[in-house]
Structures are given as C-alpha cells and as structure tokens.
Amino acid sequence: MTNPLSIFDLDSNSSLAFATASALGAPLSAWEERQFEDGEHKARPLESVRGHHVVLLQSLYSDAAHSVNDRLVRELFFVAALKDAGATEVTVVAPYLAYARKDRRSKPRDPVTHRYVAQLFEAVGSDRLLTIDVHNLAAYQNAFRIPTEHLEAKSLFVDHFATLLEGNACILSPDVGGVKRAEALRRSLSRRLGRELNSAFMQKWRSRGELSGERLVGDVAGQEVVIIDDLIASGATLLRTIEAAERAGARRIHAAATHALWAGKSHALLDHPALTTLVVTDTLPLLQRANPVLQQRVELLSVAPLLAEAIGRIHRRESLTELWLDAET
C-alpha cells in the first residue's frame, strides 16, 4: 500500500505543474507564503501532509519576481517544513536544476556549486531529486548522496523532427561536451527514419564569459542540420553554431534545446535569417511570459506527460528503466 500523494507547486500558476498534476489525476495542494518587512519570508502547506509522499515541483531560475537564489532558499525551507509537518517522503522535482553547470573547478580555488546545492537539499531532508537533461549527468549522479532520477527530453525531439527532416540530414553538437547528447539523438532519429543521419560538432572554449573557437568538424554542406543542446542561456553558443553551419553550406538549419532561459543574445538568435525553426520544452515558464514575437518564433514541447509518468512510477515504487528504454527507441 502506497502513502497518499500530495503535489505542491512553488511557482504559482505554473502551467507545467498544472499539466503534470492533471496527467497524474491529482490536484495541486494548497500552500501559503508571507513576506515580511525585512525581506524574510515563511511558507507552509495549508493541508495535512502527515504520512504523505510529497512531490515538490519547481524549476530553479531567475525572473522579475524572484532570483534563482530566492527560489532555491524558498524550496529548501519548504522541504524542511514538509518534513517537520510529518511528510514521510519528499521528492524534489526540478525540471531545470540551477548551478548544474558549475560542476568542476576551472580556476584555482573555484567553487563546485553543483555539489554544494546537492548538500543543501540533503541537509533539509529531501529524499529524492528528479531533473531533466542535466548539464553533466555523471557530475549530477556523483554530487548527491540521496537517490537521484534523470529524465531525457530526447523522445520529444525525435517525435518532432521525424516528421520534419527531408533528405540528407546531420545532427550538430555546438561543442565537444555535447557530442554524446547529439549522438544519442542521431541514433534514435536514424532508427525512426530508417536511414543513417550524419554528425558534426563545433569547437568551443569559454574563458571569463567569452566564447572562442570557430571550427566546425564534419560535413554539413547541402544537408538539413539539427543543432541540439541542453540549454539556451545567452544564445551565444547557438548563434555561433548557426553562423558556422550557414558558412559551411547547410541547406536548412533547425535548433533544439531542453531548457530556454532567454537571456543575453537570445533575440539576435531568433532574428537570424538562417534559422528555420527553434524548438524548446516547457521546463522553464519564461516563454509563456515572453513577448509575442518570441512565442511566434519558437515551438514549445511539453515535458508534463514525461514528468507525470516518472512521478507516478516513483510513487508506486516502480522502475523508471522503461522510460530510459523508450528514450532509446
């Protein structure tokens, strides 16, 4: 017999949380938050969670209302409040996990912030953490001492591009670090389409926030190109990759990323004449709140069914392995 399931959404009115809960056939649980004059806050569940398996769903990002650090602290405090209120188990679902890119020291005395975030979630009593397309899977799996689950949005991109690609096509990684991700998409799309797709990658170095490296390794001339990345932050990486593919003679250029933060040069990216389509998922709500031009130029795929299936399996103590196998097909 499983414990009752409660789902909380700390991003009030999040369409992703609502869609996920609806797919699970469960309502979102009520909670309240109070802000104090000195900038402090408190948040508490408005219904009993004693003996419940609680799912806390919130991506960690910055917007006009809260910084990423605000969201992180609010979530940590709420996990602790849930455990104090008698929750048997708390599963943190962070579709986009902040600080995951800072997973190693690149300079002397650099922080490894990804590991520190893991320690914070462990310290307040989190029982499990689930995320989607984390920046470095090995670092994620090794940073936490509590169970972690990892989902991939690859199957969504396979479904999307399988109906779009015509003739010779190539999957292009914008850097060496993303080659495995691009290769996984290439294999899955090749199987779906019944023909072998090509692969290529860009050289990239980043130091003090500046990008360098202009060489495209592989042949994209006359081909339909799909650039795949885990994250659009400033848009600079995708922009330079689009420009390199255009110079190399690509016939059509598509871009896809799981997480879209829309900062920095993202509008220059969207305005680039060589970009045919840009596809992202709804792990971050910023697209829904963005201007109409952004909404018209970007195709949005929902991860809600994937999250709902994973949460349901976790709650029923079932394996998530089949979700991985499905992603490989």
Catalytic residue positions, numbered = 204
Letter string b/e over residues 104-124, b meaning 16 or more CB atoms within 10 A of that residue's CB: eeeeeeeeeebbebbeebeeb
- Coil, helix or strand at residue 108: coil
CA angle 141, 321, 194 (to 5 degrees): 110
Collect all residues with Cβ–Cβ distance below 8 Å to 140 and sequence separation of at least 6.
97, 100, 103, 114, 131, 134, 148, 150
Q: Could you tell me the two tokens for 207?
A: 């130091």
Q: For residue 95, how far is the Cα from the chain centroid?
A: 5
Q: For residue 308, how far is the Cα from the chain centroid?
A: 15
Q: What is the rounded CA–CA span in Å between residue 293 and residue 262?
A: 13
Torsion of CA 312, 257, 275, 16, to 10 degrees: 40
What 8-state DSSP symbol labels residue 4?
P
